[in-house]
Structure 1
Amino acid sequence: MKKTGILLLIIMMIASLFVGCAQKADENLIGVSMPTKSLQRWNQDGANMKTELEKKGYSVELLYAEDSVDQQIKDLENMITKGCKVLVIASIDGEALKGVLDEAGKAGIKVIAYDRLIKGSKYVDYYATFDNYLVGVIQGNYIIEKLGLDKGEKGPFTMEVFGGSPDDNNAYFFNGGAMDTLAPYIESGVLNIKSGQTEMEQIAIQGWKSEGAQARMDNLLTAFYADESVDVVLSPNDSLAQGIVASLRAAGYGTSSNPFPILTGQDCDTTNVKMLIAGEQSMSVFKDTRTLAAKVVDMVEAIMKGTEPPINDTKTYDNGVKIVPSYLCEPVFADVNNYKALLIDSGYYTEDQLK
């Protein structure tokens, strides 16, 4: 009996050591929830953040929800159960996470919204993103400069406008920045939106889907451009630009007599950079995910140390419940003239990735 008792005591001591180790690991655990692996940028965002957090000594639970809101909620619930101390969330639907964030808030877990504002919850502690209004301004200014509107060119030029997913708060900032910048030329008739479609409910593409953009561009070309070419297409991001280019190709654009229109984008996905090089897409706003990931790591570390995370905006991002303290990184644009310096020389891509 004594031997049995001693054996049980040893087993209990060993078990307590494992429990202690598990608790210690939990104290150092960070949850990172990304929306999908189907877009290159989210793979890079997740990988960059995991790498940088692990360099700092944190354990990282990185999960991709594959564009399923229900799956993202389940992922976050699992992270809460595992004892994550901070959640970094790039939301699929910015208005669908209130319930699970209530759970996180009650558990004392801090939440950083990553590049997409989470709305309707008081438990969004911080927001890290790029200056999304500036993204649109950059796209608008690129169009102005390429057409020579700033030098007095009167055109008129035909233009069509696309919007992002209506459940993504960023889509409204992108659109607002571009349309505010282009407004004087639209109002004067120098830029002629033949379809007349400018409201988000008319131009938005659900889920940022390339096929949705392609279908809408097909309809626009059939209805309004049977006898003339479109000169400009304002696309807020690269996934939409891919669909737009597919539609334009099918309609016979890309020849010397019918060149591709000026076409904007965002994210510098490899597919789109190749399209820049081929002359099919004009520009893409570059948001270096390494910069954003590094800033989020700084924010996480400050939270874990009990200090104030770095923020540079306390006025812009209202999630319907509160103004969320934010850090805004500054974007730039890439086109055929500067992509090598911006993307290859910086180590973001290799030359082989763009062949």
Structure 2
Amino acid sequence: MRRALTGAMALSLAAPLAACGSDHQDAGAGKDSIGLLLPESKAARYEKFDRRIISTRLASLCLECKVDYHNAQQQVDAQKQQFEALVKKGVKVIILDPVDAAAAKSWVDSAAKKGVKVIAYDRLAEGDVTAYVSYDNEKIGRLQGEGILAALGSQAATSDLVMMDGSPTDPNAPSYKKGAHEVLDGKVRKIVFEKDIPGWSEAKAKKEMTDFIDAHGPEGFDAVYSANDGMAGGIAAALRSAGIKNVPLGGQDAELPALQRLVDGTQSFTIYKEVRPEAETAAEMAFRLLRGKSIKSLTSTTAHNSTKSGIPARLFKAQIVTRKNMKDTVIRDGAVRTDLLCAGSLADKCKSAGLN
């Protein structure tokens, strides 16, 4: 029998904050400007959390500092133009979360030659970056694998798994995949299908899952690994349309819809990554670099991309969230509001789970 997955993955994005546009705000140039380039707005975290926290932390450190913010909406060319415009303005420190890490190399290298310091944020850009702030992404992949095995329980060794991996342009995606395989390989019977999903597209993940079900039937798999919660939403919709229930499904980011699926029993786990320490560390690094100060005390390890080693880095930890530990993780930390989590038809399930 298939076992219901009870878990919840990573970063929760539930608070009802005012949506921010993708055009720059508080723009300025020169010695007191810091560039902030985020990759997209489909994942709720970027506009609701990362942008706000970075801007707020910088304001607390430096009243005269200006944040020149842009969102690329998943368009590499748009981000290239945004980056080059910041350099042309004279901005000397840029926090960059790249749409495509490899494509960013030429911009980063060119900027570095002009004395611009680039902090790779969340995703490690290629090129001559000054510092890197993110999470231990292979560890996150291992946590995802552990979540799948826990959901399958004693039936893991006889179970077939579908894997929907992250976008091939995101340097974190191979790390998630590698970590997951380290845990899953040899522990499940077989990985019957595996696919990289461009742009972390929920619609593409739904289509791939639907096509697999159409080709192999509802009994052709026993669990689904999804690299993030957005794709897990598409996969859950495909399972629901096919009338398939109680199939373990994992994700990452602890987004509100995913946490609601945990309550509802249609997603087993997510990975919770606290945005605040990552964002505040990036902000403080940017301020120190702007003022010519050392960032050594903010870094605890080093990272490397294809052309540079020894990049000062800070990598934060993450944890598995399930319905059972949701109260002591994302709810306790204020990452999700229970009135939003338990809205509508989920009220009774929240009550039975002791969440409201």
TM-score, normalising length: structure 1? 0.82
Residue of structure 2 in register with 1:84 after alignment: 91
Deviation at 1:318, TM superposition (A): 3.0
Deviation at 1:241, TM superposition (A): 0.4
Residue of structure 1 in register with 2:160 after alignment: 158
| Amino acid paired to 1:48 | I
| Amino acid paired to 1:212 | K
Moved more, 167-176 or 297-306: 297-306
Secondary structure of the equivalent of 1:129? Answer: strand
Change (3 A) 1:305 1:348: farther
List per-residue Cα deviations over 1:28-72 (Å, max 9, x = no partner). 211100011222021121221111111211321111111111111
Give the whole-Å Cα distance in 1 for the aligned partners of 2:161 and 2:120. Answer: 34
Is 1:127 paired with 2:132? Answer: yes
Is 1:271 paired with 2:257? Answer: yes
Match of 2:222 among 228, 231, 238: 231
Kept after mapping to 1: 8 A contact 2:149/2:156: no
Secondary structure of the equivalent of 2:231? Answer: helix
Kept after mapping to 1: 8 A contact 2:58/2:284: no
Residue of structure 2 in register with 1:56 after alignment: 61
Residue of structure 1 in register with 2:32 after alignment: 28
Residue of structure 1 in register with 2:339 after alignment: 352
List per-residue Cα deviations over 1:300-326 (Å, max 9, x = no partner). 233234213422222xx4321012332
Give the whole-Å Cα distance in 1 for the aligned partners of 2:277 and 2:263. Answer: 25
The answer to which structure, 1 or 2, has the higher relative contact order (CA under 8 A, 6+ apart) is 2
Change (3 A) 1:222 1:80: same
Q: Gaps (5+ residues) in structure 1?
A: 1-23, 254-258
List per-residue Cα deviations over 1:319-342 (Å, max 9, x = no partner). 210123321000112111122332
Secondary structure of the equivalent of 2:300? Answer: coil
Residue of structure 1 in register with 2:104 after alignment: 97
List per-residue Cα deviations over 1:99-132 (Å, max 9, x = no partner). 322332122111011111112x1x2111111110
Kept after mapping to 2: 8 A contact 1:112/1:126: yes
Residue of structure 2 in register with 1:192 after alignment: 190
Residue of structure 2 in register with 1:260 after alignment: 246
Q: Gaps (5+ residues) in structure 2?
A: 1-27, 344-356
1:274-353 equivalences in 2 (<5 Å): 274-303=260-289, 304-309=291-296, 310-314=298-302, 317-323=303-309, 324-353=311-340
List per-residue Cα deviations over 1:3-45 (Å, max 9, x = no partner). xxxxxxxxxxxxxxxxxxxxx9721211100011222021121
Give the whole-Å Cα distance in 2 for the aligned partners of 1:240 and 1:37. Answer: 15
| Amino acid paired to 1:77 | E
Is 1:217 paired with 2:219? Answer: no
Secondary structure of the equivalent of 2:337? Answer: coil
| Amino acid paired to 1:126 | A
Change (3 A) 1:154 1:161: closer
| Amino acid paired to 1:54 | A
Secondary structure of the equivalent of 2:335? Answer: coil
List per-residue Cα deviations over 1:276-317 (Å, max 9, x = no partner). 111111111011111111221232233234213422222xx4
Kept after mapping to 2: 8 A contact 1:28/1:59: yes
Secondary structure of the equivalent of 2:119? Answer: strand
Kept after mapping to 2: 8 A contact 1:50/1:62: no
Deviation at 1:352, TM superposition (A): 2.7
Give the whole-Å Cα distance in 2 for the aligned partners of 1:82 and 1:163. Answer: 38
Moved more, 331-340 or 127-136: 331-340
Give the whole-Å Cα distance in 1 for the aligned partners of 2:315 and 2:144. Answer: 18
Percent of matched pairs sharing the same residue: 31
Change (3 A) 1:154 1:237: closer
| Alignment coverage as a number of residue pairs | 309
Deviation at 1:263, TM superposition (A): 0.8
List per-residue Cα deviations over 1:159-184 (Å, max 9, x = no partner). 11111101111110001101111112
Secondary structure of the equivalent of 2:150? Answer: helix
| Amino acid paired to 1:209 | S
Give the whole-Å Cα distance in 1 for the aligned partners of 2:66 and 2:242. Answer: 51
Residue of structure 2 in register with 1:240 after alignment: 231
Deviation at 1:225, TM superposition (A): 2.5
Residue of structure 2 in register with 1:140 after alignment: 145
Give the whole-Å Cα distance in 1 for the aligned partners of 2:186 and 2:110. Answer: 47
Kept after mapping to 1: 8 A contact 2:71/2:79: yes
